[in-house]
Amino acid sequence: MPAQTTLIQQTLLLLLAAILPAGIAIGQETDQAAPADNHLKVMSFNIRYGTARDGDNHWDNRHELVIQTIKHDSPDLLGTQETLKFQADYLRKNLPDYAWFGRGRDASPDKGEQCAVFYRKSRFEKLAEGHFWLSPEPDKPGSRGWDAALPRMVTWVKLRDRQSGQSLFWFNTHFDHRGANARLESARLLARKVKELAGGEYFVVTGDFNAKVESKPYLAMFGKTDDAKSDLVDTFRQANGNQAQDEGTFNGFKGTRSGARIDWIACSPRFKIVAAAIDDFEVDGQYPSDHFPVTATLEYTK
């Protein structure tokens, strides 16, 4: 009997060896970590402030669609604009996989629209955080700059990507809708701050810039004018070539893409830009916001 038992055991071992994946020896630990995905999905989304008198498109009628749109894109980093506190609270409740950081743009942190950021809890660790205002007094909460109609700000975080081991800076903003000089000066200030804070590290910039491609703020952001060249790269242009028709991002809840591309995702030249798109997701003709969200897929390089 002992000899027969040994023969059966050997037969079973041979059968197991035949069906197990190559490279896994019998008796070894098999819970090896899967290779890390270097891709980073970024989304910028002006969700339209929730107290606007938008009739059928009021926040109460579209807030679930906003969540559906975000889950449809499934970003790792989500930068939002026009986000009032109650809207940020709603997003936080309904996006439990994401951590939030933000504050209102007014002097009181609970007042005014936020440039709130949301990032995957499981993937990122926050190392540093901050805000600055788009004005000659960037450290003064609620300060209004140049000819801006309203206070405007930038929310930023430094994150460690647990998946890749890399760290990156992320800046999210919303430029003024009326002040042409404010938009230009805001672009210059933002470009300086990105260089000052991020240096040579990876970085991402998301926002609604209320400016057309090739406008003065755009040129100041992407380094085609002035004496110092910016390191910011326009992900959409880099990924999609020369300017084409139908790349507008403000849709007025109508789904049109004939206007200007005013929502941008910029990144460090260290990133490889895999893809960039304008997402016109809708359900039964209803759009989640008067802006299309924009996305970019980035890849860390060696």
Kindly report, residue by residue over 140-154, the tens digit of the pLDDT.
Answer: 999 999 999 999 999
Q: Is the pLDDT of residue 22 over 90?
A: no
- Convert 70-106 to b/e letters by CB count within 10 Å (16 or more is b): beebebbbbbbbbbbbebbebbeeebeebbbbbbbbb
pLDDT band at 279 (very low <50, low <70, confident <90, very high): very high
The β-bridge partners of 295 are: 43, 277
Q: Is the pLDDT of residue 17 over 60?
A: no
Q: What pLDDT, on the 0 to 100 scale, is given for residue 111?
A: 97
Among 16-20, 58-62, 97-101, the minimum mean pLDDT is found in: 16-20
Q: Is the pLDDT of residue 15 over 50?
A: no
Return the H-helix or E-strand segment holding 207: strand 202-208
Mean pLDDT value across residues 88-112: 98
Mean pLDDT value across residues 55-77: 98
pLDDT band at 37 (very low <50, low <70, confident <90, very high): low
Q: Is the pLDDT of residue 182 over 70?
A: yes
Q: What pLDDT, on the 0 to 100 scale, is given for residue 262?
A: 98
CATH code linked to domain 39-299: 3.60.10.10
**pLDDT 10s digits, 202-255:** 999 999 999 999 999 999 999 854 556 678 999 999 999 987 788 999 999 999
Distance CA 125, CA 111 (A): 27
Distance CA 286, CA 255 (A): 9
The β-bridge partners of 39 are: 299
Q: Which of 73, 75, 39 is nearest to 280 (CA)?
A: 73
Q: Which of 121, 211, 197, 216 is nearest to 154 (CA)?
A: 197
- Would you state the torsion angle of the CA atoms of residues 146, 209, 198, 150, taken in this order, to the nearest 10 degrees? 40
Q: Is the pLDDT of residue 10 over 70?
A: no
